[in-house]
Structure 1
Amino acid sequence: MASVRSLIGLAFFAAIGILMLLLGCALYDNWYPMFILIFYALSPVPCLIARHFSDDLEPSESPLWDLCIFLTTGIVVSAFGLPSVLADREIIEITSCILIMGGNAVVFLTILAYFILFTGEDQFSFATWI
């Protein structure tokens, strides 16, 4: 089980990512990129649903896990695509897009780290590589 120190570290990095998103919006006075918060909330949902319905199956044996990974990937790519499209259509500035993309990277890596640290089973075991 992960310690309180790792939980505090994850909260710190999530706050840094959200701060980068807020700076990308506030510095350029354009709040359309705040819709990315919806993608932040939706990204863990497919994995939580798959974990609920396939407790007894291995992740490699279940087509539900494949669907979960596919949907999660679509959500994450959409979160990176929205600022790109907004910058391409000149709705937001390019520097705002760069700040938002950096914030996206930090937040999604934090969500990934949370799932790796706080799951009961180790899906990404490095012991099988040796």
Structure 2
Amino acid sequence: MTWHTGRLIDHVHLRARNFVATRHFYTAVLGVLGLRIDQSGEGWFQVDELFVDAADARTIPTHIHLALQARDRAMVDAFYKTALAAGGKDNGAPGERHYHPGYYAAFVLDPDGNNIEAVFHGPVQRSAASVELNPA
């Protein structure tokens, strides 16, 4: 089995109050970004470094800001439109931000109130699509 990861974050773990609504939301918005849920089980799913499971009586839903990479401005726009159609709430329409020249992003709140961003940093050249891990 090979999996892909970045350099700093091993994984981000979200706990969902309404797991069905949350899975629907992430299936839709990740699909627009060219990603799909690649691992799942009863009450959980994972895609790349994102792990989501159902909150229960002993745990509470998360409340974080998570920024997802987009390949271009059109992908940010599609993310925003799809996120709203999948039950997300507006938290900042697509547009340039002041963070650095070319920073184009959109923000939505997922079903549990997590602030989910899609961001395009402008034209860049990547050294690799991802880091591949192959267990020895």
Q: TM-score, normalization: structure 2?
A: 0.32
Q: Larger strand proportion, structure 1 or 2?
A: 2
Higher Rg of the two aligned structures: 1
The structure, 1 or 2, with the larger RCO (C-alpha pairs under 8 Å, 6+ apart) is 1
Q: TM-score, normalization: structure 1?
A: 0.33
